Structure 1
Amino acid sequence: MAAPLHIAVCGAGIAGLASSLALSAQGHRITLFDQFEAPRPLGSGLILQPTGLAVLDWLGLGQRIRGLGARIDRLYGKASGSGRVVLDVRYDVLGDERGLAVHRAALFNVLHDAVRAQGIEVETASHVKDLDDNSVILNQDRREGLFDLVVDALGSRSPLIPHAAGPDYRSALGYGAIWASLPWPGAPFDVNALEQRYDRASVMIGVLPIGRQVETAPEQAAFFWSLKAADFEAWRKAGLDQWKHTVLGHWPDCAGLLDTVTDASQMVMARYDHHTLSLPFGRRIVFIGDSAHATSPQLGQGANMALLDVHALAAALKENADLRDALGSYARKRRFHVKLYQGLSRVFTPFYQSDSTLLPMARDHLVSSISRIGPAQKLLARIVSGKFGLPRT
C-alpha cells in the first residue's frame, strides 16, 4: 500500500461521499469539494442492487440505509392496452438477496452523516473548474492544493474530463423522464415492487416505493413519465390537465398519485446520455461514477456502479504502492463490468424508450414467454442485480 496521500474529492454526491469515507478509512487525508453552500442531494428514487448494498455494508452503513428504504422483490411491467406482461423480474430466483429502493436524499443523508462523523474536511461553495498540476482551480480562480490525487466524482458533464488519459466517447439519448417524489399511495400499488406501464416504447410510466428520506419522515413513491428532452418545454406549456388525462388513459390506478401533483414545477426533467472514458484516469486524477461512465437508467445501475468504482479504487490503492500502478489497476478491475452493462443498456433501452414500432412489438410478444423459463428468469435477475459478469471476490 502507498504511503498516505492527500486526496481531493470533487463532488459530494453518492460517489464522492462514499469514496471520501473509503479512502479516509485507509488513512488518506481527504478534502471534499462541493459547489453548494451546504451539500445536498439531487434526484428522486433509485434501486440499490445487491452489489451496491454490499459496498454500503463494507462501509458500515448497510443497516441504516435498509431501515430507510423499501425492499424490492420484483420488477413488473405491463402493456397498457393489452395488459400483456412485458417485464417480470423476481429476485427470489437468486436466493435471499433483494433490491432496496431509496430516495436519493436518504442515501445522501446516510453517507453525509458518516462523512461528518468521520471528521472529513468539506469545502462548500467550491465550484471545481479545472486542475493545474497538483492544484484544484475553483470559482473566482481560487486554487487549493497541493494534492497527491484528485478523485473526480462531478458527474458526466465534469469539467475535469479533458484530463483523462484516453478519449471520451459520448452520445446523447433522445428520451429522458420527468419525475417527482410523491406521498406513497398504498394499494393497489405493491410496496415491494417497481411497477411500470408501457405503450409501445414511447410511453413508460413507473411507480417505485422509495421509503423515507429520514427515519421520522413519511413514506414516499417516485413517479416518472418517459419524455423526450426536446419535448419538455411543450409538455410544460400544455398544462397538467392534458397530461394527467393521458396518464390515466394508460394507468387509471395513478389517479391518487396525480392528485398530489398540483404544479408543473413538481415534475423535474432528467436528461440522459451515454458516455465512457476509455481510460478513467490521468496524471494524478481518477474518475468514478458518472464521471467515468454514464448510460440510460433503464437497468437502474448508476448508483451501484459508482459504489463498485469506490470499492475497486480503494482496493487498487491498497494493493499498489505506486500511484500510477494503482490507477491502472483500478481501471482494469472495472473495465469488463462497465463495458458489459453499457452494452446491455444499449441493447435493452430501445425496447422500452424509443420511437421504434418493431422493437416494442417483439418485446410484448416475447418477454412474457421468455420470463417464465427458469434459466431466463435467473439470467434476468442476475443482470438486474448487477452481478452479471462481476468477478467473484
Structure 2
Amino acid sequence: METRSGRSAVVVGGGIAGLATGLALRRAGWDVRVRERTADGAAAGAGLVLWPNAVHCLQVLGVAGAVRERASVLHRSTLRRPSGRLLSSVDARELARRCGQPLLGIARADLGEVLTRALGRDALHLGCEVTDPAGEEADLVVGADGISSLVRRSLWPDGPRPDHRGYTAWRALVPGADLLRGTGAAEGAGETWGRGERFGVVPVGAAGTYVYATADAPRGARAGDELGELRERFGRWHAPVPALLAAIEPGTVLRHDVHDLPVGATALQRGRTALVGDAAHALEPNLGQGACLALEDAVVLAHALDAEGSVPSALLRYERERLPRVTALARRSRHLGHLAQSAHPLLVLARDAAVSATPARLGLRAAGRVAGWRPPTSPPTSPPARTPQEPR
C-alpha cells in the first residue's frame, strides 16, 4: 500500500480500535506500525453488534462488503422477560432504511481478520509490547490499548482510573446456527432482563451465535466453573437460552468485571498522541456501541489529520469533534446499566411496565439518535464544541 514519505504513526494496541485506526491512517497515506503485545490481537473475544454508524465507517475503510459477507444481518432487536414475554421490539430494517446501513452481528475474530487483511500483515506487529509510548519514533502515537491503557497513564499518571460498575459479564460463542433456526432469535439480536441479571443472544454469521450475560457481583468474584454458573443462573429462562447454554463448549466462556471510565474526565489527546476506543472513553456495555465508537474514532482521526496542517492542530480538532458524542453516550450507557441491572422487585416491575408502555416509534427514534451518526465528509461549518479541561 502506498504511503506518503515523512508521515509515520505508531498505533499501540492491535484490537478492533487499533486495526481500524491503522487502516484509516494507512488509507490516508501514513506509514503505520500497529504494535500488539499479545500473539493473537483481535482474535480474542466473542462477538459484537455493528450498528449502522459503524457500518458507515467500514464503508469509509473499504471493508464493509467483506464484513457483511461474514456477518448476520439483524432484522430486529428485542427485549424480553425471563418468561419470554416481549417487552419491546425495534424494527432494525426500518432503522437501516433511516440510517442508510444495516445492523450486523459478527464474531470479533472475523471482524479482526477482515481489518488485518485490509491493513496488511506487514503493518501489524504481534507480540510487540510498547513500554515507553513517549519514546516511539513517529510523528503520531495512537493509544488503542484498551481500558487499562498504558498510553493514557503515561500522558496523565494521576488521571482517572476505570470504575467498577457493580456487576460482572460473561461472553461466549456457540458454534453452529441450528439452535436458532425456527425461533425469533434467528432474526435479530435479543436481550432478556431479569432481576439484576441479563442474557443476550446475537447471530454472528457462520461463526454461530454470540451469547452474553451479566449479573450483579462484587469486584473479582469468580466461579470455579463459569459455564456451570451460567447454566445455574439462566438455565430455566425462555427458549432458546437453555439450548444455547447446553451447547457452549467447556472452557470457552470468558468472564470479566464491568468497568468504564469516569464520564467526561478523560481528554483524548496531548501533543502528538491521541487516544481511541476504550483507551479514550470505555463505556459500560449497554448500548452495543463499544466497537462502533472505536470505528468512528478511527475515521474521524484520519479525517482530522488530512484536513489540518499539523498533528497537534489535527488532534485538537479530533478531540473537539469526538468529546460531545462519546460523553453523551457514556452517560446514557451508565443510566441504562442502572436501569437494566435493577434487582429490587418493585423497581423491576416499574421498569418493565415503563418499557412495555413505550411506543415502538419512540424506541426506533432513540435507536436512530445513536445509530444515525455519519462519518465526516467535509470540514465542519459550525464553531467547535468547547474542550473540557484535561485531567491533571
Structure-1-length-normalised TM-score: 0.85
Counterpart selection for 2:133 from 106, 131, 134 = 131
Structure 1 counterpart of 2:23? 21
Quick one: structure 1 residues 231 and 261, their matched pair in 2 at CA, closer, same or farther if it must change by over 3 Å?
A: farther
Structure 2 counterpart of 1:319? 307
Structure 2 counterpart of 1:190? 185
Q: Which amino acid aligns with 1:281?
A: Q
Q: What is the correspondence of 1:1-393 to structure 2 with a 5 Å cutoff? A: 4-37=6-39, 39-81=41-83, 83-94=84-95, 96=97, 97-116=101-120, 120-132=122-134, 135-136=135-136, 146-164=137-155, 167-168=159-160, 170-183=162-175, 184=177, 185=179, 186-200=181-195, 202-212=196-206, 219-228=207-216, 230=218, 235-237=223-225, 240=228, 243-261=230-248, 263=250, 265-276=251-262, 277-372=265-360, 374=361, 376-385=362-371, 387=373
Shift, 1:60, TM fit: 0.9
Q: Is the Cα contact below 8 Å between 2:78 and 2:88 reproduced in 1?
A: yes
By percentage of residues, which structure has more strand? 1
Q: Which amino acid aligns with 2:102?
A: R
Equivalent-residue separation in structure 2 for 1:347 and 1:238 (angstroms): 28
Quick one: structure 1 residues 113 and 95, their matched pair in 2 at CA, closer, same or farther if it must change by over 3 Å?
A: closer
Equivalent-residue separation in structure 2 for 1:124 and 1:231 (angstroms): 30
Structure 1 SS opposite 2:127: coil
Structure 2 counterpart of 1:216? none
Please provide the CA RMSD for this pair: 2.6
Quick one: structure 1 residues 187 and 199, their matched pair in 2 at CA, closer, same or farther if it must change by over 3 Å?
A: same
Q: Which amino acid aligns with 2:166?
A: G
Equivalent-residue separation in structure 2 for 1:271 and 1:359 (angstroms): 24
Q: Which amino acid aligns with 1:27?
A: G
Shift, 1:80, TM fit: 1.8
Q: Is the Cα contact below 8 Å between 1:88 and 1:371 reproduced in 2?
A: no
Q: Which runs of 5+ in 2 are unaligned?
A: 379-392
Equivalent-residue separation in structure 2 for 1:21 and 1:234 (angstroms): 37
Structure 2 SS opposite 1:318: helix
Structure 1 SS opposite 2:172: strand
Question: Which 4+ residue blocks in structure 1 deviate beyond 6 angstroms?
Answer: 390-393
- Percent of pairs with identical residues: 26
Quick one: structure 1 residues 243 and 65, their matched pair in 2 at CA, closer, same or farther if it must change by over 3 Å?
A: closer
Shift, 1:223, TM fit: 1.5
Equivalent-residue separation in structure 1 for 2:6 and 2:200 (angstroms): 46
Equivalent-residue separation in structure 2 for 1:367 and 1:314 (angstroms): 39
Structure-2-length-normalised TM-score: 0.85
Q: Is the Cα contact below 8 Å between 1:77 and 1:198 reproduced in 2?
A: yes
Q: Deviations over 1:300-323 (max 9, x none)?
A: 000110011011111111111122
Quick one: structure 1 residues 18 and 95, their matched pair in 2 at CA, closer, same or farther if it must change by over 3 Å?
A: closer
Quick one: structure 1 residues 253 and 269, their matched pair in 2 at CA, closer, same or farther if it must change by over 3 Å?
A: same
Q: Which runs of 5+ in 1 are unaligned?
A: 137-145, 213-218
Shift, 1:177, TM fit: 1.3
Quick one: structure 1 residues 359 and 281, their matched pair in 2 at CA, closer, same or farther if it must change by over 3 Å?
A: farther
